[in-house]
Chain A
Amino acid sequence: MLEFLKKYRMQLLAGFALFAALIFFSLNLRRRDTTSPLEKVVLTVTSPVTGVIFGVNDAIFSVWDGYLFLTKVKEENGRLLRTIKIQNERLVRGNEALLENERLRALLEMKGGLPGSWVAVSVIAEEVTPWFRTVVINRGSHDALREGLPVVALSGIVGQVIKVGATSSKVLLLTDHASAMAATIQRSRARGVVKGQGGELCSLEFASRQDDIKLGDMVITSGIGGVFPKGIPIGEVTMVKKGEYGIFQTVTLRPAVNLSRLEELLVLVTPPQ
């Protein structure tokens, strides 16, 4: 026995390490809605840098739109280009400021109109793998954020906070496969559960065959479960399919928010009384 242990010591230790890692993973599955200390530290430490890199990206986009486009004109008329370039850069900056101002103003108006207390946040990092849908935002437990809080954008629901660091948090988007929320069809008041499909679309589950659901119907949060406030737009029905058999119908919806271009968002910190 001792001989066997000595001979296969490395393989046994490697197997033990793998088993320990698997146990670690499965234990964390139970605490999926809580943030581990390592995640807290990493999110907190990286948030200032990722914020700066996102700013640099924006600056590069601005330069690309406003400056590089005009380089061909420079070949034709240098003097005129310099004037145009300066004017254009100002215009781009002005337009960008104007658009940002409009977005923030709309967000502020929305914030005022929504019940409860909200915190404005910005996206600072995005998901890497194609099979999960999450983003990192620039607020954390210092701003009273915690796991489970709903996140919305101007046009509707974005998702839910799942991990919280001191100065940044991770948001599970409503298109992720792990995301689910109670929903209602605004027109007919039919109920169901909106689940993510991993891509750009969601599905409305548990909508019975008798429910009146049509293309173009707006799907809103039902308020059931107490996580998401009632009446916030989730998306628009893009496909309804009723098979010959079965209790439920297949309903697909497109999120009201363009989740691939998220910038400023709101997090509901205190639910409405």
Chain B
Amino acid sequence: MIRTVRFIMLLAVTLLAQVSFFPAWLSPPFTPNLTLFFVVHLGLRETFSWTNCLAAFLIGLLQDCFSGCYFGLHGFIYLFGYLLLKQTSERFYTDNNLLIVMGVFLGIILDGVMTFCLLLLFSEADGIYGSLFSGLLPHALTSTLASLLLVRATPESAPGYAR
């Protein structure tokens, strides 16, 4: 229970910092996406449960509240990312912190590619693809750097932390 409350508190603080602190100091595409870190953490460090599934979806919806005009876009992408991680996590040594950092990097790339695919299928936002792919790599690198700092600062990410 205490872990869940701490997880939610940390998520709230990170989300607020992401939308109101970092944009004042960093310009796009160098603003980091920190919410994905929590989905990767759920996917790699926590056991599979439908509650965690719902949590990944809700984190995506929270991201959508502050980003773009397509509500549900990140909800779907984060849920997909979580399920993908759960399918593959048993093959990895998930206690390694660098795996979370790498997961965030690949997650941002997946986020960009899936945004491209979903908008191509469902939306009429022509031309978004140029700015999406040109900003993807710097966005992924900044997010990776931020997650490297976050993974060292959070006890939940410590190797062998109770699941």
A interface residues with partner B (beta carbon < 8 Å): 13-14, 17-18, 21-22, 24-29, 31-32, 36, 38-39, 42-43, 46, 49-50, 53-54, 56-57, 61, 124-132, 134, 136, 162-163, 170, 172, 176-178, 195, 197-199, 260
Contacts and interface: CB of A to CB of B under 8 A. Distances in A.
Contacts of A28: 70-72
A208 to B, nearest CB: 19
Contact of B126 (A18, A38, A177): A177
A24 B115 contact: no
SS of B interface (majority)? helix
B160 interface: no
Contacts of B67: 127-129, 132, 134
In the A-B complex, the 3 residue pairs with the smallest Cβ-Cβ separation, listed nearest first, are A130-B135, A198-B131, A130-B29
A132 B131 CA distance: 9
Contact of A198 (B23, B53, B61, B128): B128
Interface string B1-42: 000000000000001111111111101110101000000000
Interface in B42-83: 50, 53, 57, 61-73, 75-76, 79-80, 83
Given A25-B73, A53-B20, A131-B115, A177 B125 contact: yes
B25 to A, nearest CB: 7
A132 B69 contact: yes
21 contacts: A14-B83, A17-B50, A17-B79, A21-B75, A25-B75, A28-B71, A28-B72, A32-B71, A38-B65, A42-B65, A50-B19, A54-B24, A127-B28, A128-B18, A130-B29, A130-B138, A136-B19, A177-B126, A195-B127, A197-B131, A198-B130
B122 A29 contact: yes
Contacts of A53: 16-17, 20-21
Nearest to B138: A130
Nearest to B30: A130
B122 A25 contact: yes
Given A126-B23, A130-B28, A178-B125, A199 B131 contact: yes
A43 B136 CA distance: 26
A43 B15 CA distance: 12
B76 A25 contact: yes
Which of B17, B67, B131 has the most CB atoms of chain A within a 10 A radius of its CB? B131
Contacts of B126: 177, 195
A272 B10 CA distance: 46
B123 interface: yes
A131 B132 contact: yes
Nearest to B86: A14
A13 B54 CA distance: 13
A198 to B, nearest CB: 3
Contact of B127 (A14, A27, A56, A177): A177
Given A126-B19, A128-B33, A130-B135, A172 B69 contact: yes
Contacts of B122: 25-26, 29
Contact of A124 (B20, B33, B118, B128): B20
Contacts of A170: 66, 69
Interface centre among B15, B23, B29 (most CB of A within 10 A): B23
A130 B131 contact: yes
Nearest to A40: B65
A176 B23 CA distance: 17
Contact of A126 (B20, B64, B70): B20
B20 A50 contact: yes
Contact of A21 (B21, B79, B132): B79
Interface in B65-116: 65-73, 75-76, 79-80, 83, 112, 115
B128 A32 contact: no
Contacts of B115: 131
